[in-house]
Chains A and B, each alone.
Chain A
Amino acid sequence: MTDTAGWGPRRRSVLTRSASVGVAVGAYGVSYGALATTSGLTVPQTCALSVLAFTGASQFALVGVLGGGGSALAGTATALLLGARNALYGLRLAPVLRVRGVRRLFAAHLVIDETTAMTIAQEGDRAGRLAFWSTGLAVFSLWNLATLLGALGATALGDPKKLGLDAAVGAAFLGLLWPRLKGRAAWVTALMSAAIALALTPVLTPGVPVLVAGLVTVAVMMRPGAATEPAQ
Chain B
Amino acid sequence: MIWVAVLATAAGCYAMKLAGLSVPEKVLASPRVRTVAALLPIALLAALTAVQVFGHGRSVVVDARAAGLGFAVVALMLRAPFLVVVIGAAVVAAVVRALA
Contact = CB atoms under 8 A, between A and B. Distances in A.
Interface of A: 24, 27-28, 30-31, 40-42, 45, 48-49, 52-55, 57-62, 64-66, 68-69, 71-73, 75-76, 78-91, 93-95, 97, 99, 104-105, 107-109, 111, 161-178, 180-181, 185-186, 189-198, 201-203, 205-206, 209-210, 213-215, 217-218, 221-222, 228, 230-232
29 contacts: A30-B83, A53-B6, A53-B9, A59-B9, A62-B5, A76-B8, A76-B12, A83-B16, A87-B19, A97-B21, A108-B20, A109-B17, A164-B89, A164-B91, A164-B94, A167-B53, A167-B90, A170-B69, A174-B49, A174-B76, A177-B49, A180-B42, A193-B50, A194-B50, A198-B50, A218-B36, A218-B40, A218-B43, A232-B38
A197 B48 CA distance: 8
A165 B56 CA distance: 15
A72 B1 contact: yes
Chain B residues touching A, majority SS: helix
A172 B22 CA distance: 32
Given A164-B89, A173-B48, A210-B51, 13 more contacts: A53-B6, A62-B9, A105-B18, A164-B68, A164-B92, A164-B94, A166-B52, A167-B89, A168-B86, A174-B72, A180-B41, A189-B42, A206-B55
A84 to B, nearest CB: 6
Given A40-B2, A167-B65, A174-B73, A76 B58 contact: no
Given A83-B13, A174-B73, A218-B39, A213 B18 contact: no
A91 to B, nearest CB: 5
Interface in B2-47: 2-14, 16-23, 25, 28-29, 32-47
A99 to B, nearest CB: 7
A88 B68 contact: no
Given A85-B41, A228-B39, A168 B87 contact: yes
B68 A99 contact: no
A66 to B, nearest CB: 7
A165 B39 contact: no
B41 A82 contact: yes
A222 to B, nearest CB: 6
B59 to A, nearest CB: 6
Contacts of B94: 162-164, 167
Nearest to A35: B86
A167 B55 contact: no
Interface string B80-100: 011101111111111101000
Contact of A91 (B20, B48, B85): B20
Contacts of B37: 84-85, 87-88
